[in-house]
Amino acid sequence: MNAKLIHQTIGLRLAVGLLGEHGQAGWWPSMFLGQHANAFFSPIFGGKTRMAQYQGVTEAACRVHDERIGVGRVFHLYRLPETIEHRISDAFQEGTLPEDVTRCFESTEAAESILASLAKGPSVVKPGPIRLGGADMINSPDGVALLAATYRAAFHTDIRCYPYFTDR
């Protein structure tokens, strides 16, 4: 997975993470990226505040996805193959994220903008888990675009949809 795809995946995680939080769509009970989260976290985490927010919302969303989809031979936005997870962690810790990705910490409008920019084409959604394809799609721009389109459609129609890929 190249650096651009890693950055897009981080942006997608942040956008979906914010839009799915308690103060928004309410898919998970966290408020790591909410309006006042930075004020709460910065005295504790200082310069690592954004990393703590990112890890918190990622874990909250991962738990909900795992409960709905299951754990095993499946991957979703918040549980990717280990090599990709390492690349994401490295990019975040190196501070090499582009400005458009970090805007997802700022507002729902920024998160919706990122989601719209990554989504390519319309997507049909249904409640619950929805298989998008094989795990090979995770490493492609089409996979990121399909995930973004699916989440975007789900948020716009108020349908809790949990897209995933299988390795079979």
- The residue extents of the domains of the chain are 3-166
> How far, in Å, CA of 152 to CA of 155, rounded?
5
The candidate with the shortest Cα–Cα distance to 126, out of 94, 145, 104, 150, is 150
In the chain the beta strands, taken as DSSP E runs, fall at 74-75, 128-134, 161-166
Q: Is the pLDDT of residue 136 over 70?
A: yes
Helix axes 108-118, 141-157, angle to 10 degrees: 130
> How far, in Å, CA of 112 to CA of 110, rounded?
5
User: What pTM, to 2 d.p., does this model score?
Assistant: 0.93
What pLDDT, on the 0 to 100 scale, is given for residue 113? 93
What pLDDT, in 10s, does the model give residues 157-167? 999 999 999 98
For residue 76, list its beta bridge partners: 79
Question: What six digits make up the tokens of 35?
Answer: 């309006």
Res. 168 pLDDT band, cuts 50 70 90: low
